[in-house]
Amino acid sequence: MTHQPIIIPAIASDGSLYPVEKLQAHREALFHMAVSVFVFDGPLLLIQRRAIGKYHCGSQWANTCCSHPHWNEDHKICAERRLKEELGFTVPLTEQRVFEYSADVGSDLHEHEQVTMFTADVNRASLDIVPNPEEVSEIRWVGANDLRDEIARSPAHFTPWFRIYMDEFPDFSF
């Protein structure tokens, strides 16, 4: 089976958007759009361990879900789509903020993203989570203090962007 390249919106220096292939954006460190989702049950955040076969940051822990909108795809639609594709559920999402970061993600790839952050509040007892094994190898719920301590002890276990998020928003104030 041949996979079609994924075309995402990159951001030019004048703020205009242009289509670019996702891997090209990462190889060339092009500024591009992304989404990140944070699903909470009270004070606990659902985090995922990326599948080992991911093209970067495999087997590292990250926030609930993150991705890139396809060209001309609404950010919220993208966040909902990827939450369903990666973890098998949908919940109402609330847009919180737009955040920019840049990070080396290994394998000669780089993220330079304008991220639209979304949150959701759920009751995990009624949530049917079905991780897609091609995307996610493990999930767990964790509080902010425990997560900060774990990142401090073992930063390499977490994706670069998730470490940046936790530095910037240590109390889950997304």
CB 56 within 8 Å of CB 109: yes
DSSP state of 158: B
| CATH number listed for the domain at residues 7-168 | 3.90.79.10
List the beta bridge partners of residue 32. Answer: 10, 113
Q: State the catalytic residue, choosing from 65, 66, 78, 80.
A: 66
pLDDT at 1 over 80: no
Active site residue 28: no
Confidence category of residue 2, pLDDT binned at 50, 70, 90:
low
Give the DSSP H or E segment for 83: helix 75-87
Confidence category of residue 6, pLDDT binned at 50, 70, 90:
very high
With 0.85 as the threshold, say if the pTM is over it: yes
In the structure encoding, which two tokens stand for residue 33, read together? 């759009």
Average pLDDT, the chain: 95
Q: Find the mean pLDDT for residues 100-113.
A: 94
pLDDT for 106 equals 86
pLDDT for 55 equals 83
pLDDT tens digits along 58-100 = 899 999 999 999 999 999 999 999 999 999 999 999 999 999 9
Active site residue 113: yes
Q: What is the 3-state secondary structure (H, E, C) of 10-66?
A: EECCCCCEEEEEHHHHHHCCCEEEEEEEEEEECCEEEEEEECCCCCCCCCCEECCEE
